[in-house]
Amino acid sequence: MDFRFPRLHADERRRSSPFPFLPPFPPRVATVIPNSPTAASPPASDPSGATVPRFRRRYAGVSVADLAHEYGTPLYAYDADMIRRRCRDLASWDTVRFAQKACSNLAVLNLIRQEGVMVDAVSTGEIQRVLAAGFQPHADRGAVDGPDALPPVHPIVYTADIFDRDSLDAVAKLGIHVNCGSADMLEQLAERAPGANVTLRVNPGFGHGHSQKTNTGGEGSKHGIWHEEIPEVLRRAEWAGLSVSGLHMHIGSGTDLAHLAEVAGALERVALEIGRSLTMVSAGGGLPVPYKPEEVHADLDGYFQLWNATRKTLEDRFGHRIRLEIEPGRYLTAEAGCVITEVRAIKRQGTRKYLLVDAGFNTLARPVLYGSYHPMSLCPAGSEAADDTATTLEEVAVGGPLCESGDIFTQTDGGFVASRALPPAQVGDLLVIEIAGAYGFVMASNYNSKPLPAEVLIDGGQARLVRERQTPADLIRGERV
């Protein structure tokens, strides 16, 4: 089958635009691409590590070339079945709470809600998103059935280190449970919601993340209430008339299991200081996913057993049930997403070869922010390059279109340009940047006045548009001369 497609996408799709010199935009309709009967695409990863194909002709069962042709590039695509699998991986926990800052598209939020997953919000905008996706603002306050029943779960929890005025208004009016990361939040909440139950986010004095910029514990982090200040904070909460019913610790994003395991002991010590008012403890997030072939998935069962033992210790001490939560973000969506981008130029700079694509750090910021590694696969544009068994690879650097030297997808932490071994590419081929479903679109920007990309969700072999691509008119909407 010939996968050739027009370099600037289909001419017949050209819509009238105030910028006719720009490539045409795809139609702004929720077109569905059906699955074809050909073989399904390989999984984005397997349990042993980040294994991706050198050639990626299909994503979640749908032709990559068809996706690019229909919706344009750059494009985010999400695999609904993978999201469901990752939600169900954590079924042992009493509550799985999605850190939506990882991927806050309404269709994704609705999908995880249907899986019984609760949600965390860190802003008024995120509260608005989850309400639009069908979440209820607060728990049913009905009676708990018997001493062995778990306490009610909060559908939405607002987690932050401050209240801006809008967020304080929102949680007070809607009755949303608050996870307080600073003592000043207690008095501010008490003025608006007297007698509320709260959770304390505690900084245990140590942290770890895949980058120093994602470390959320220790003296170098602004997050959470310092663990040595808990007695004073408890006095302030009592004075304000608030009841501390929950305890939360989160040491960093994309950390490793050894560091995460340390949190259980630290949380137990703080929980014993708080006492029997506690009805919920949260292990926080940070569950890693493998981006590189040598990385592996975490031992989820072992991690749960560690936390379950902590929970049982607290239940024995306090004489009542404790709800055990986990708060994944990356784990639920990272492997379920990719960026599809078109190779627009190939050139040499001295001894280094560059592939330049139409996605930049305005599309996917993790490489420039953290030096993050994302696997990449090639989707050749024509049948003449269709030998997917080819073993020839070449070292290339992959960069974007931005007028910015840091616009390189193959860079290390510190901004040093690196190379990636990829099959030989031609202008017009598609490059698939894998494992991009977390901290991808949510961190995209309009830098260089680039429109935000479209997003599609693939479910059961059907692709549907879940976010329209921005237009040039969108870029200046709301501005005044």
Residues assigned a catalytic role: 403
Contact 333, 78 (CB under 8 A): yes
What is the rounded distance in angstroms from the CA atom of residue 214 to the CA atom of residue 387? 40
What is the rounded distance in angstroms from the CA atom of residue 212 to the CA atom of residue 386? 42
- For residue 46, count other CB atoms closer than 10 A to its CB: 13
Contact 472, 19 (CB under 8 A): yes
Q: Taking the CA atoms of the chain, what radius of gyration do you get in angstroms?
A: 24
Element at 331 (helix H, strand E): helix 330-333
Residues written for the chain: 481
The CA distances from residue 272 to 93, 94, 454, in Å, are: 21, 21, 48
Cross-strand pairs, 79: 458
The structure tokens 């795809």 sit at 26
Contact 107, 85 (CB under 8 A): no
Name residues whose C-beta falls within 8 Å of residue 375's C-beta, 6 or more positions apart in sequence: 50, 52, 291, 292, 433, 434, 435
- Mark out the alpha helices in 193-299 (DSSP H runs): 230-239, 257-274
Name residues whose C-beta falls within 8 Å of residue 145's C-beta, 6 or more positions apart in sequence: none
